[in-house]
Amino acid sequence: MTKKHVPADLIILDCTLRDGSYAIDYQFTAQDTYLISLGLAKAGVRYIEVGHGTGLGSAKAGKGDSAATDEEYLDAARAGVEGTGARIGMFFIPGIGTMRDLEMAAARKMDFIRIGTNVTEIDQARPFIERAKELGLFVSSNLMKSYAVPIDEFLKVVTRADRYGVDVVAVIDSAGGMMPADVREYVRRLREITQKPIGFHGHNNLHLAVANTLEAVSAGAVFVDSSLQGMGRSAGNAQTEILAVLFEKMGYRTGLDVYKTMDLGERVLKPMMSRSQGVDDISLVSGIAQFHSGFSRIIDDVSRKCRIDPRRLIIEVSEVDRIDVSYGRAERIALKISREAVHPAGASGLWSVGQGVLRRKVYKKPLEQVLAVAREMNSFSKKTGKPSVFSITLSSRKDRTVFPYIRQSPSLVIGNVEASGIRELGDILRALDGKIDWIVLDESIKALRTSGLERVVSKSRFTWYSEQRVLRLSVNVLLAQRHSRKRVLILADRDNVELMVRSLRQQGVTAAGLEGGTLAGVDWKKTGAVISFGLKHARALTPRLAAAISKETNIYAVCPGAYPAPFWDAVVRQGNFVCRVDARCALAAELALVIETHGATGNMGSGEISGVMVVAGGVIGPRGSVVVDSFKTPSRVIGIADGRGGLLTEKEGLPFREHAEKVSHELIRKLYRNDY
């Protein structure tokens, strides 16, 4: 693009704190708003939109509870941009927001308002546009779902908005389905009929948000929307950081500091995002069909009720109406699809997978399999962003090494191995070191006096866990849920018998324990469940014993491989419910506990920040000291210590408020590394 085509003033309006709130269920706090507004303003962003995703008055209108009120968002943003010249504003949908909401926002020194209406409903915006102008606000008419009417009709709507007195007219690709040529044509035709600045807001359902934004600017738009990390409703928005780089490369003047913008997205926004803004199949279909995700709940409910593919329903509903989707209309279309009993595109309801089977490679040596498991875990870890954790214990069988399969918990990618002996365990540690984030060893290995075994691990992080605690927790939860009204017999060593019986009785389970290796004298007819927890009873578990056990008795084993096969054959033949204890959930809980505790202890400490005493991680400080979230990397103030391990109330803490504010200011200054 030659220099003469470059506009004198191209404005990026960042809507992270408004549109981005959809992605976290409207849970930006006032503190988040302050921090991000401050960073955006210092990075050169001149227009910053804040508040609830659907705009002013949304929480009161039942559109979803937000972490702060409209007033708190405005006050926080105003404090963040103070002295920078940046403007703050909010979104407004007539029928959700009220005139009183608008007047409140203006009274709190809001600079601009963006009034959003469906493209066919511009007249609803007129009184709010006129009142906003009277209040001295800069007003944008955001014509939502601009694509839903022919372009000539769209231009007539713009003419009316122009007549009502708006300062900006914006093309809105609400479903993220417009093509670059569409955007170019809409903006080009707009320039022919209005002298007002033209805006563009796009979504990323087809991964065209950035391309469409560039096309809009090329055709004459000067107000373009974006968000940090692309955070926003549905598949997200054009990414502020990307646009900042692209526009600078193309010679446009935006006033944005590219590096500060990228730092803000990476350091401040990314840790707040529960998920990356990728494109799933529903978002993709919504973009193709130009289906607004605001109607997703209707599609979910109706497709589940009628047992049809929601993607098919989205496509057919959008062919009828892209403006307003009702339950009644969606159900009528769903019933039609059900009667036809045809799947999308006439395809079969099942994918044709052929006769081939992808077979796992068989590894003859345990160390080869260890490395294969580690590679697979790392693949999961990189895709999910979860740390990889490998737990190691000793097998009850000395003739082989056992590899349970890889699994994921909500926070971890987990692999584990039961090694056949200490020598092999050492080899496994050396093979895994540096290839897995965490290696954890069973505490029972300490009893074998393998001094220094943990020192083999130098590149991965290392800690201990308790396999016995995992097994006890698994048994405890299983029996409490399935046998709260039955008599349970625990077969185990003394320590486990005492712990399990006591724990189960506390939960209302009638439990008894047996420590020895003999089962003589047990009244099997009154025993609803048996849990075998150790090896001492292995010889006593015989086919003759199986015949004495009631068919209604459930049998669980922690280490089924340690017991004679004839016993299992007998109880299975006679119809008992026989089950090995599944410890996967308890293992995930145990590993999360030890790893997160390991991290928490690293956050413990006390010291000074800006001359003020601070404590963190549970350390009890003197009354009036400031409690922060982490000693090593503090990012926020938790409260004022009461000197006894608790926090002072707001009233009690008033004498120390200046200390807390001093620490908070220093944490913010460090967050931005003096760049701001």
Give tens-digit pLDDT for 106-151. Answer: 999 999 999 999 999 999 999 999 999 999 999 999 999 999 999 9
Average pLDDT over residues 410-431: 87
- Render pLDDT for 78-104 as a digit per residue (tens, 0 to 9): 999 999 999 999 999 999 999 999 999
Distance of alpha carbon 287 from alpha carbon 234, whole angstroms = 10
Distance of alpha carbon 58 from alpha carbon 90, whole angstroms = 12
Contact of 80 with 102, CB cutoff 8 Å = no
Please, what is the average pLDDT of the chain?
A: 85
Which among 655, 668, 649 has a CA at the least distance from the CA of 609? 668
- Render pLDDT for 247-300 as a digit per residue (tens, 0 to 9): 988 889 899 988 888 888 888 888 777 667 654 557 756 877 889 988 989 999
Question: Looking at residue 518, what is its pLDDT?
Answer: 67
Q: Does 544 score more than 90 pLDDT?
A: no
Q: Which pTM value belongs to this model?
A: 0.63
Strand partners, 143: 117, 171
- Position 158 confidence tier, pLDDT thresholds 50, 70, 90: very high
Distance of alpha carbon 645 from alpha carbon 409, whole angstroms = 32
Quote the radius of gyration of the chain (alpha carbons, Å). 32
Which among 84, 75, 72 has a CA at the least distance from the CA of 47? 84
Q: Token pair of 222, please? A: 């000067």
Q: Does 13 score more than 50 pLDDT?
A: yes
**Which has the minimum average pLDDT: 149-153, 290-294, 505-509, 652-656?**
505-509
CA 370 and chain centroid, separation: 30
Distance of alpha carbon 540 from alpha carbon 518, whole angstroms = 6
**Which has the minimum average pLDDT: 49-53, 146-150, 314-318?**
314-318
Question: Looking at residue 121, what is its pLDDT?
Answer: 96
Question: For residues 475, 478, 482 and 484, what is the CA-based torsion angle, rounded to 10 degrees?
Answer: 60
Q: Token pair of 250, please? A: 């193309």
Question: Looking at residue 285, what is its pLDDT?
Answer: 66
Better pLDDT: 569 or 539:
569
Average pLDDT over residues 344-358: 38
Strand partners, 152: none
Q: Token pair of 20, please? A: 């981005």
| DSSP secondary structure of 627-651 | EES-SSS--SEEEEB-SSSSB--TT
- Position 342 confidence tier, pLDDT thresholds 50, 70, 90: very low
Average pLDDT over residues 540-563: 80
Average pLDDT over residues 200-219: 95
